[in-house]
Amino acid sequence: MSEEKVPIYIKKELYERLKKHVKESGGFESIEEFVEFVLNEVLEEEEEEEVYSPEEEEEIKRRLRSLGYL
């Protein structure tokens, strides 16, 4: 299944550095794959951690305290 893609413009110098990095690191098939991975990582880091309801969280903490972990 193909996902729709859009072009993004970046500086040529940065592009060349990315090209070199992708070639040398060997972990990614293309610059596009590398850029998508890095951007996803950045966004995920900024997204909220999983949120529990106050009751669920209190229940978890109660168990952790009863077992001596907290």
Partner 1 sequence: MISRPHGGRLVNRVLASKRRERILEEVDEFERLNIDQGRAFDAENIAYGVYSPLEGFMLEEEFLSVLDDMRLPNDLPWTIPIVLDIDEKTAARIEPGDDVMLYYEDIPVAVLHVEEIYVYDKERFARCVFKTTDLAHPGVAKVFSMGKYLIGGRVDLINDPPNPFERYTLRPVETRVLFRERGWKTVVGFQTRNVPHLGHEYLQKSALVFVDGLFINPVIGRKKRGDFRDDVILSAYEVLLRNYYPRESAVLSIVRYEMRYAGPREAIHHAIMRKNFGCTHFIVGRDHAGVGNYYGPYEAQEIFKEFPDLGITPLFFREFFYCRKCGAIVNERVCPHDESFRLRFSGTKIREMIRSGKTPPPEFMRPEVAEAIFQFENPFVE
Q: Where along the sequence are the contacts to partner 1 (CB under 8 A)?
A: 25-28, 37, 41, 44-45, 47, 49-50, 52, 57, 60-61, 63-64, 67, 69-70
Shortest distance in whole angstroms from residue 60 CB to partner 1? 5
Q: How far apart are CA 30 and CA 10, in angstroms?
A: 16
Number of H helices, E strands in the chain: 3, 0
- CB-wise, 13 or 50, nearer to partner 1? 50
- CB-wise, 7 or 68, nearer to partner 1? 68
* Contact yes or no for 41/28 (Cβ under 8 A): no
Q: How far apart are CA 58 and CA 53, in angstroms?
A: 9
Shortest distance in whole angstroms from residue 4 CB to partner 1? 16
